[in-house]
Amino acid sequence: MTEERDEPALTAAEELALARLALDEGDLTHAAGHLAAALVQAPTLPEVHETLTRIAAASGGDLDLFPLGQHAFVGAVVARAHLLAAAGRAAEGLDLLVAATGHAPGMDWAGVPWVTAPQLAERLDPERTARILMQICAVVPDPAPRAARGPVRPYLTLARNAVAAHPRHALLLGAASALARRLGEVTLAVTWASRGVRAEPSKLGEVWLGYAYRSAGRTRDALAALERAVGHDPDDLAVYADIAGTLADTGRLDQALDWIDRALAHDPDFDCAVHTAHRLRFLRDGDVAHLVALADFVRDHPDDSHEHGDLAESCRSRPWLGQVTPAAGAMVDALRRALAADGAPGTAVRLEALEPPSAMRTVAAAVPGLDVEVTGVADPDPREPRRDTTCQLWRYDGTTAAPTLPVPSAAAAERVRQLAHPAWPHPPAAYDAAVGLATLELTDLLGLLVHPPEAPPTALGRVLAGQDPSLWVRCVQVWACLGLLHHRTDEPWQTSTRRRVLVELVWGVEDWITEAALFALVTAAWVAPAVRSDVAGVVAERLSDVATVARVRPVPIAASLAHLALATPGLDPAATALAHQLTGGASGGSSRPGALRRLWDRLTAPFRRP
């Protein structure tokens, strides 16, 4: 199904006018085409339906005016549905409307009188109605956002009418309950599901009742219903996972894991149980090994029965697992204060130790009037790479840093502007998204690190530029380093250009780029088990070095590097313990101050569960 035709887009009124003109000239084919286009833009407009009635009368109800096919136009599908209903074939018409809703759930395809009329529900076989409601449930989130519920409400009216006409049909009651639950009608969902179970006890009925109770906050009743469902069918392991998830939501992790272990004893590779088990074990002890094992399972089982969100849910809002960590240090603190004061520089910033060059340059560009005084350069000198490198990105004149590389191409800048974001579902998803940078030249990728382009003129870009430009710079650096992971992937890892460059960046001048490069290496370890030992060794060495330096002078990137270490597959216990020590037990996600927390909530909203 498609939403477009070959002709340029017109308004609904224009399409309708052309449809009427063609109809008056007897050109029914063009009349039907323009009517279908008007229907897409205004599916409930009375004038559209009046014109459709005229076309039907002129053609004798010719359905071929609105053909179906592999790439059927959605307007034609909906028009055909209305013609079928008018011809007394409402069940077939309803099937087409449901298909249109599945294609574009946000459109009010069903908001027409014949769908909500009680007579339709009376004529339809209740089992067919139940199946239709289940199809709708498959495309509606649970719960649906309030703003998205309107186009689906006609189907709830159909459910009400059907239940009134067939009050003891168990399958219908359960499916109606599932739809009511999604639309926020929780009390009605419980009522219908309860009636369905009383009419005909079954596993599916108990599952629907359990979900309804859970949405109503009646956890004990929900668990009882789900356990009865297990009694009906002890081999349906998905219900075990549902019980475990419900228990975990109430903090009963040990009981939840008992249920998961029972499911895994039946089938160690059952996808729902595996996903839930790894998520709950990570929730219990915070060991990233559980999430890495889950990512491996997802990679090795691409044909799972349905999509799971456990990995993304576990990584969400966690430093480096699901988002860039905000920069730390006196310079970015001064930047945030100045922006909060509408750009007024305020008092001078006095630095007892030189901060990362990316921080110094970002703040200087964002708040030109800020007076920065560097009182000294402590040892070890932060202007020097931590190890010898051929990839020198900065040169210093006293305490002022300047890039050594030219500005990247405009094409490279635009490519990263389109991709860069401070949040991602999980590291493998970030790796996959960065493939869009695979064709960039190495010089461009490196140039982006020290010459980040301006934030794009999007909602995200405006928020970042106005409230914390440091986040945008860090986004560019992170995605440029992820792009390096896709550079010359035909080269064996150990001797590859991508590994050599990233490792040199990790050991270069102490900077935000250090974090970005280390994240790219950690991401490589997530997606390629063969490189895990190598990456874990690099991470452990770099973490040990930063801990040594932090004993004698401030290291603004230390806590972030520690969080990166905790996200590293296969990190040895000593390095893990050191990472916990450097983070000081901070989560990196929930301890941010109010203004920055609100900003972060806005930026990461697209990656939260609907």
Strands 400-403 and 394-397 turn out to be antiparallel
**Torsion of the alpha carbons at 85, 89, 92 and 96, rounded to the nearest 10:** -20
Picking from 269, 295, 315, the residue at the C-terminal end of a domain is: 315
Residue among 469, 447, 446, 437 at smallest CA distance from 456:
469
Contact 229, 210 (CB under 8 A): yes
Residue 36 pLDDT more than 60? yes
Same domain (yes/no): 265, 180: yes
Half-sphere exposure of 13 (CA within 13 A, CB side): 0
Q: Is residue 84 part of a domain?
A: yes
Phi–psi pair at 475, nearest 5 degrees = -60, -50
Residues 404-461 pLDDT 10s: 999 999 999 999 999 999 999 999 999 999 999 999 999 999 999 999 999 999 988 8
Query: Averaged over 228-232, what is the pLDDT?
Result: 97
Given a cut of 50, is residue 589 above it in pLDDT?
no
593 vs 252 pLDDT, higher one: 252
Domain boundary among 115, 135, 169: 115
Claim to verify: residue 167 and residue 277 sit in the same structural domain: yes
148 and 111 co-located in one domain: no
Do 478 and 422 share a structural domain?
yes
Looking at residues 222-226, what average pLDDT do you find?
98
Predicted local distance difference test score (pLDDT) of residue 444: 98
Question: For residue 535, what are its two tokens?
Answer: 């990456």
In sequence order, which residues have a C-beta less than 8 Å from that of residue 458 and are 6 or more positions away? Answer: none
Tens digits of residue pLDDT in 135-159: 999 999 999 999 999 999 999 999 9
Q: Of 605, 320, 339, 341, which is closest to residue 469 (Cα–Cα)?
A: 339
Residue-wise DSSP of 564-601: HHHTSTT--HHHHHHHHHHHTT--SSS-S-HHHHHHHH
Position 69 scores a pLDDT of 80
In this predicted structure, the answer to whether residue 192 has a pLDDT above a threshold of 50 is yes
Q: Which of 92, 105, 1 is nearest to 43 (CA)?
A: 105
Q: Give 69: exposed, middle or buried? Use CB within 10 Å, 0-12, 13-18, 19+.
A: exposed
Segment among 34-48, 525-539, 580-594 with least mean pLDDT: 580-594
- What average pLDDT does this structure show over 85-102? 95
Report the distance separating Cα 313 and Cα 428, nearest Å: 14
Give the whole-angstrom CA distance, residue 42 versus residue 12.
Answer: 6
Q: How confident is the model at residue 587 (pLDDT cuts 50, 70, 90)?
A: very low
Least confident of 90-94, 380-384, 461-465, 529-533: 461-465
Query: What CATH code is carried by the domain that includes residue 200?
Result: 1.25.40.10
Q: CA 484, 565, 523: angle at the middle one, nearest 5?
A: 30
- Mean per-residue pLDDT for 43-65? 95
Does the pLDDT value for residue 606 go beyond 80? no
Instruction: Tell me, yes or no, whether 352 lies in a domain.
Output: no
Considering the domain architecture, whether residues 430 and 475 belong to the same structural domain is answered as yes
User: Is 106 found in the same domain as 147?
Assistant: no
Whole-number pLDDT of residue 463 = 86
Say which range, 84-93, 269-278, 490-499, 592-601, has the weakest mean pLDDT.
Answer: 592-601
Measured from the Cβ of residue 292, the count of other Cβ atoms closer than 10 Å reads 23
Q: What is the pLDDT of residue 345?
A: 52
78 within domain boundaries = yes
Q: Please name the amino acid found at residue 134.
A: M
377 within some domain: no
| Overall average pLDDT of the 227-241 stretch | 96
Predicted local distance difference test score (pLDDT) of residue 296? 97
Per-residue pLDDT, 565: 98
Which of 264, 293, 315 corresponds to the end of one domain? Answer: 315
- Residues 479 and 592 placed together within one structural domain of the fold: yes
Q: Decide if pLDDT at 252 tops 60.
A: yes
Give a yes or no: residue 591 inside a domain: yes
3-state secondary structure of 373: strand
Tell me: pLDDT of 592 over 50: no
Note whether residue 218 is domain-resident: yes
Residue 603 has pLDDT above 70, yes or no: no
Name the token pair of 147. 């703003």
Residue 133 lies in a domain: no
pLDDT in tens, 161-170: 999 999 999 9
Q: Using pLDDT thresholds of 50, 70 and 90, give the confidence band for residue 524.
A: very high
Considering the domain boundaries, does residue 465 fall inside one? yes
Judge if 169 and 289 occupy the same domain.
yes
**pLDDT over 60 (residue 4):** no
User: What pLDDT score does 344 carry?
Assistant: 56
pLDDT of amino acid 594: 46
Q: Where are the alpha helices (DSSP H) in 468-531?
A: 469-485, 497-506, 512-527
Report the number of distinct structural domains present in the chain. 3
| 535 C-beta neighbours (distance < 10 Å), count | 26
Q: Which of 181-185, 333-337, 480-484, 579-583 has the lowest mean pLDDT?
A: 333-337
CA 202 – CA 213 distance, rounded (Å): 16
- If asked whether residues 106 and 187 sit together in one domain, one would say no
Query: Distance (Å, rounded) from C-alpha 574 to C-alpha 165?
Result: 68
Residues 98 and 148 in one domain: no
Asked if 300 and 206 sit in the same domain, the reply is: yes
User: 473 is in which domain, residue-wise?
Assistant: 389-607
- Mark whether 514 and 578 lie in a shared domain: yes
